[in-house]
Amino acid sequence: MNKPLLEIKQMSTHFYTDEGTVKAVDNVSLSLKEGETLCIVGESGCGKSVTAMSLMRLVQEPGGKTVAGEVWFDDKDLLKAGPKDIRHLRGNEIAMIFQEPMTSLNPVLTVGEQMIEPIIEHQLVSRKQAKKQALELIAMVGIARAESIYDSYPHELSGGMLQRIMIAIALSCNPRLLVADEPTTALDVTIQAQILDLLRKIKEERRTSILLITHDLGVVAEMADHVVVMYAGQVIEESPVLDLFRNPKHPYTQGLLRAKPVVNQRKERLYTIPGQVPKLVDLQESCYFSDRCEHCMEICRTKQPPMLETGTGHRTACWLYEEGIR
Residue 202 placed within a domain? yes
Of 141, 159, 174, which residue sits at a domain end? 174
Residue 58 placed within a domain? yes
Residue 326 placed within a domain? no
Query: Exposed, middle or buried: residue 10 (CB in 10 Å: 0-12, 13-18, 19+)?
Result: exposed
Of 159, 174, 189, which residue sits at a domain end? 174
Q: Note whether 85 and 137 are same-domain residues.
A: no
Residue 159 placed within a domain? yes
| Mean pLDDT within 244-265 | 87
Q: Note whether 141 and 209 are same-domain residues.
A: no
| Mean pLDDT within 271-296 | 89
| Mean pLDDT within 53-68 | 93
Question: Could you list the residue range(s) of the whole structural domain that residue 133 is in?
Answer: 105-174
Mean pLDDT of the chain: 90
pLDDT of residue 269: 79
Of 150, 174, 198, which residue sits at a domain end? 174
pLDDT of residue 265: 57
- How many structural domains comprise the chain? 2
Residue 128 placed within a domain? yes
CA distance 296 to 225: 31
Residue 21 placed within a domain? yes
Q: Note whether 169 and 302 are same-domain residues.
A: no
Q: Note whether 160 and 289 are same-domain residues.
A: no
Residue 179 placed within a domain? yes
Q: Note whether 215 and 315 are same-domain residues.
A: yes
Do 200 and 180 touch, CB atoms closer than 8 A? no
Q: Note whether 180 and 170 are same-domain residues.
A: no
Q: Note whether 162 and 276 are same-domain residues.
A: no
| Residue 248, φ and ψ in degrees, nearest 5 | -65, 140
Q: Note whether 50 and 163 are same-domain residues.
A: no
Q: Note whether 30 and 170 are same-domain residues.
A: no
Q: Note whether 87 and 144 are same-domain residues.
A: no
Q: Note whether 78 and 128 are same-domain residues.
A: no
Residue 312 placed within a domain? yes
Do 171 and 137 touch, CB atoms closer than 8 A? yes
| Residue 19, φ and ψ in degrees, nearest 5 | -80, -20
| Mean pLDDT within 86-108 | 87
Kindly indicate the confidence band of residue 69, based on its pLDDT and cuts at 50, 70 and 90.
very high
Phi and psi based region of residue 148 (left: phi greater than 0; alpha: psi -120 to 50; beta: remaining): alpha
Q: How many CB atoms lie within 10 A of CB 4?
A: 18
| Mean pLDDT within 110-116 | 94
Span 289-303, pLDDT tens digits = 999 999 999 999 999
Kindly indicate the confidence band of residue 266, based on its pLDDT and cuts at 50, 70 and 90.
low
Per-residue pLDDT for 207 more than 60? yes
CATH of the domain at 40: 3.40.50.300
Q: Note whether 264 and 274 are same-domain residues.
A: yes
pLDDT of residue 74: 86
